[in-house]
């Protein structure tokens, strides 16, 4: 016969299993708000942060301009408090698993962004492959735009930053994991694409890049400089080199880009950036310079070298190092602390040399 003690033990075991099964926290898709984009701006007071969430409302109808979305903004002393309070404004659970775009307002970056970044690193449901950018003038204005081409909320920004959509030499892509690494790593500084709103066309305008040191915003490049940075630093091959030669615009469409960095020895090292680019002569007058490709290549090389050198000095004078020259320099000295101090004192007066090799693979169809 089964003892009374065993019967009581089985009863408590079944009761405990029942309690576990009854505690399931899963919520259906129609009871969730998917956060597809998030913005951080300064609050109305210095001790407040404004958090803006773009929420996607699940829908079975997927057509351009039919995306259902809701925007929620709230100010609080911290991001975590703002998120908790936003939950009281909506009737569904917030799901951050699909948050692919994180925008910091320009004023936020000017004041310092390290504390705000810390929240994204601690959340296990924030993807480290989320795109990061700077919103100008602020994140709220950018996120409230609803482009007619969007098939679902946030689709336009995701396609702009990702390779599955447009591939523009004016757009730089920065991921959360690389952004946080650049903020912490010695010898390299961060950069962010700048997102603006074109109200006349009801679309996003992304053709600039912003540079930051370990604390705050230091420099913003214009569209032409952004393209040069994308070529020389990111080796973006689907780009163009546009230079005037003898008052004639010449455009070379690139198909491949390779770079190499050399350092000279001495108290103040000199940096030589070597670049090799190949491409097709996409636009030029017929029989330009008698069709002598090598002469055209040399003229493009000289003009391109001058443009990149000017850009390097502008970035150096701003006190930032998005190319990671300092990191490359330290790698040759095993990251010695004395070498880092030496590099910091030398960088403001360092000299740059750009030596490019341009190869015209074809000239296209000309008459």
In a domain, 20, yes or no: no
If you ran DSSP here, which 8-state letter would residue 147 be given?
-
Residues 277 and 355 grouped into a single domain: yes
Are residues 70 and 216 located together in one domain of the fold?
Answer: yes
Q: Are residues 236 and 123 in the same domain?
A: no
Q: Which of 221, 252, 268 is the last residue of a domain?
A: 221
d(CA 300, CA 305): 8
**Displacement of CA 178 from its chain's centroid (Å):** 9
Domain membership flag for residue 11: no
Residues 272 and 210 in one domain: no
Is there a single domain that holds both residue 204 and residue 274?
A: no
Percent of the chain at pLDDT exceeding 70 = 89
pLDDT of residue 12: 57
Distances (CA, A) of 315 to 93, 175, 191, 213: 44, 21, 12, 11
Q: Let me know if residue 56 belongs to a domain.
A: yes
Positive or negative: CA dihedral 200, 201, 202, 204: negative
| Residues pairing with 253 in the sheet | 240, 280
In the predicted model, is pLDDT for residue 7 greater than 70?
Answer: no
In a domain, 6, yes or no: no
Q: What is the pLDDT of residue 367?
A: 47
Average pLDDT, the chain: 87
pLDDT at 337: 81
First to last CA, the chain: 104
**Where does the pLDDT of residue 153 fall: very low under 50, low under 70, confident under 90, or very high at 90 and above?**
confident
Three-state secondary structure along 171-237?
CCCCEHHHHHHHHHCCCCCEEEEEEEEECCCCEEEEEEEEEECCCCEEEEECHHHHHHHHHHCCCCC
Please check whether residues 153 and 294 belong to one and the same domain: no
Which of 193, 221, 249 is the endpoint of a domain? 221
Same domain, 42 and 155: yes
Question: Residues 14, 19, 20, CA angle at the centre, nearest 5°?
Answer: 100
Same domain, yes or no: 153 and 182:
yes
Instruction: With 0.75 as the threshold, say if the pTM is over it.
Output: yes
Q: Is residue 21 in a domain?
A: no
Domain assignment present for 3:
no
Q: Is residue 351 over pLDDT 90? A: yes
Question: Residue 18: CB partners within 8 Å, gap ≥ 6?
Answer: none
The pLDDT tens digits of the residues spanning 243-264 come to 888 888 889 999 999 999 999 8
pLDDT given at position 264 = 87
In a domain, 234, yes or no: yes
pLDDT one-digit tens code per residue, 294-313: 888 999 999 999 999 999 99
Which residue range forms the structural domain that includes residue 304? 223-367
Helix residue ranges, H only, 252-324 = 293-317
Last residue of a domain, one of 221, 250, 285: 221
Number of domains in the chain: 2
Which CATH number belongs to the domain containing residue 323 in this structure? Answer: 3.30.300.210
My answer on whether 187 and 250 are in the same domain is: no
- The answer on 263 and 185 residing in a single domain is no
> pLDDT tens digits, residue range 10-61?
555 665 655 555 444 567 777 888 899 999 999 999 899 999 999 987 766 6
Do 113 and 125 fall within a single domain? Answer: yes
Q: For residue 265, is pLDDT > 60?
A: yes
């Amino acid at each position: 016969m089964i003892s009374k003690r065993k019967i009581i033990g089985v009863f408590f075991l079944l009761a405990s299993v029942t309690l576990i099964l009854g505690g399931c926290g899963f919520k259906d898709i129609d009871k969730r708000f998917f956060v597809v984009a998030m913005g951080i701006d300064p609050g109305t007071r210095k001790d407040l942060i404004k958090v803006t969430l773009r929420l996607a409302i699940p829908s079975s109808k997927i057509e351009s301009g039919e995306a259902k979305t809701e925007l929620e903004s709230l100010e609080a002393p911290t991001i975590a408090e703002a998120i908790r309070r936003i939950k009281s404004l909506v009737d569904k659970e917030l799901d951050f698993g699909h948050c692919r775009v994180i925008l910091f307002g320009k004023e936020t970056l000017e004041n310092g962004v390290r504390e705000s970044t810390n929240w994204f690193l601690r959340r296990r449901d924030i993807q480290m492959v989320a795109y990061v950018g700077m919103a100008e003038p602020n994140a709220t204005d950018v996120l409230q735009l609803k482009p007619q081409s969007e098939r679902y909320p946030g689709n336009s920004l995701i396609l702009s930053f990702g390779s599955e959509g447009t591939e523009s030499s004016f757009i730089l892509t920065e991921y959360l994991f690389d952004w946080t690494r650049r903020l912490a790593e010695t010898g390299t500084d961060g950069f962010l694409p700048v997102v603006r709103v074109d109200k006349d066309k009801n679309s996003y305008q992304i053709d600039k890049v912003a540079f930051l040191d370990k604390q705050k915003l230091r420099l913003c490049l214009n569209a032409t400089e952004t393209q040069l940075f994308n070529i020389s630093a990111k080796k973006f091959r689907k780009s163009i080199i546009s230079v005037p030669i003898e008052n004639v615009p010449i455009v070379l469409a690139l198909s491949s880009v390779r770079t190499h960095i050399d350092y000279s020895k001495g108290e103040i090292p000199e940096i030589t950036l070597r670049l090799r680019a190949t491409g097709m002569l996409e636009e030029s007058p017929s029989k330009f310079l008698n069709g002598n490709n090598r002469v055209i290549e040399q003229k493009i090389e000289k003009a391109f070298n001058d443009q990149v050198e000017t850009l390097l000095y502008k970035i150096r004078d701003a006190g930032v190092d998005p190319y990671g020259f300092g990191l490359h320099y330290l790698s040759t000295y095993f990251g010695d602390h004395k070498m880092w101090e030496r590099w910091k004192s030398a960088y403001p007066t360092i000299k740059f040399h750009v030596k490019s090799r341009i190869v015209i693979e074809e000239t296209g169809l000309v008459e």
